[in-house]
């Protein structure tokens, strides 16, 4: 009998994706999945408890691989938040395109906001958004700053989901319409979030209050 394979998490993800694309359903059992790929059933549970756990991790792995690619760029750390996010999007959607058949299988026709498979991706992406240096208003009030942070994270996550839906429906060559959507929508979001004009208004308001200017 052939010697059983030593496996990795990446092996399991790859074999699982191949299986569901070939059969259009999950394996019947971990036992049959292990037998088909020549590894010990017990080794599966070193990484995942269920097939659903694999599905939840796949999009998180797309995220992790995107971050690894960005980390190899010497220029990326010096980008401002807008260009960091643009770089993330273009790289992330290259990952999705390389695995489009599986992504379509997993997401097409689903309500992405409620999809359990995207839970870990959402958590990872919100942490990423928190740490790329998006300029915010200094509200000098912890409760209000938490509300502001939450708003930026949630709206950014919703934007990623909307972009994924656009990409799923995109039939243009090389998904060029998605590239245009990414660039225009992210630039628009950052233009809307530009706090410099608002800072000027706030500073002017503080001046008026301080000097007690009478307009009557």
Q: Is residue 33's pLDDT more than 50?
A: yes
Give the range of the structural domain holding residue 157, as residue numbers without chain letter: 58-208
Higher pLDDT, 189 or 165: 165
- 133 and 28 within one domain: no
- Is residue 72 within 8 A of residue 43, CB to CB? The reply is no
Q: In 10 A of CB 92, how many CB atoms?
A: 24
Exposed/middle/buried for 54, CB within 10 Å: 0-12, 13-18, 19+?
Answer: buried
The winner for highest mean pLDDT among 35-44, 105-114, 136-145 is 35-44
Q: How far apart are CA 59 and CA 119, in angstroms?
A: 9
Q: What is the mean pLDDT of residues 95-124?
A: 92
Q: In 10 A of CB 169, how many CB atoms?
A: 10
- Is residue 42 within 8 A of residue 146, CB to CB? The reply is no
R_g of the chain, CA atoms, integer Å:
23
Q: Is residue 1's pLDDT more than 50?
A: no
Exposed/middle/buried for 93, CB within 10 Å: 0-12, 13-18, 19+?
Answer: buried
Q: What is the pLDDT of residue 2?
A: 56
Mean per-residue pLDDT over the chain, rounded = 88
44-58, 126-140, 153-167, 195-209: lowest mean pLDDT where?
A: 195-209
Residue 19 in any domain: the answer is yes
- 64 and 33 within one domain: no
23-32, 75-84, 133-142, 149-158: lowest mean pLDDT where?
A: 133-142
- 93 and 19 within one domain: no
Q: What is the mean pLDDT of residues 153-170?
A: 94
- 197 and 118 within one domain: yes
- 88 and 38 within one domain: no
Tens digit of each residue's pLDDT (9 = 90 or more) over 185-207:
998 888 877 655 555 545 545 64
Listed residue (97, 155, 98) closest to 122, CA to CA: 155
Residue 51 in any domain: the answer is no
Model-level pTM? 0.86
Query: What is the maximum span of the chain, computed from C-alpha positions, in angstroms?
Result: 96
- 69 and 157 within one domain: yes
Q: What is the pLDDT of residue 208?
A: 45
5-19, 143-157, 183-197, 202-216: lowest mean pLDDT where?
A: 202-216
Q: How confident is the model at residue 216 (pLDDT cuts 50, 70, 90)?
A: very low
Tens digit of each residue's pLDDT (9 = 90 or more) over 127-141:
999 999 988 777 677
Q: How many domains are there within the chain?
A: 2
Q: Is residue 213's pLDDT more than 50?
A: no
């Amino acid at each position: 009998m052939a010697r059983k394979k030593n496996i990795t998490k990446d092996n399991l993800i790859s074999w699982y994706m191949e299986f569901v694309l070939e059969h259009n359903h999950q394996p019947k059992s971990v036992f049959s999945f292990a037998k088909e790929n020549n590894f010990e059933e017990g080794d599966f549970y070193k990484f995942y408890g269920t097939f659903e756990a694999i599905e939840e991790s796949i999009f998180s792995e797309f995220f992790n691989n995107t971050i690894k690619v960005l980390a190899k760029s010497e220029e990326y750390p010096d980008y401002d938040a807008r260009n960091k996010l643009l770089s993330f999007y273009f790289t992330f959607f290259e990952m999705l395109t390389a695995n489009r058949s599986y992504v379509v299988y997993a997401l097409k026709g689903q309500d992405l906001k409620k999809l359990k498979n995207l839970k870990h991706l959402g958590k990872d992406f919100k942490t990423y958004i928190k740490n790329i240096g998006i300029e915010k208003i200094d509200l000098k009030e912890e409760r209000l700053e938490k509300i502001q942070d939450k708003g930026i994270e949630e709206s950014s996550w919703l934007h990623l989901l909307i972009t994924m839906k656009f990409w799923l429906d995109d039939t243009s060559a090389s998904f060029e319409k998605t590239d245009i959507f990414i660039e225009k929508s992210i630039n628009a979001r950052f233009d809307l979030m530009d706090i410099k004009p608002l800072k000027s208004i706030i500073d002017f308001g503080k001046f008026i209050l301080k000097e007690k200017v009478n307009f009557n």
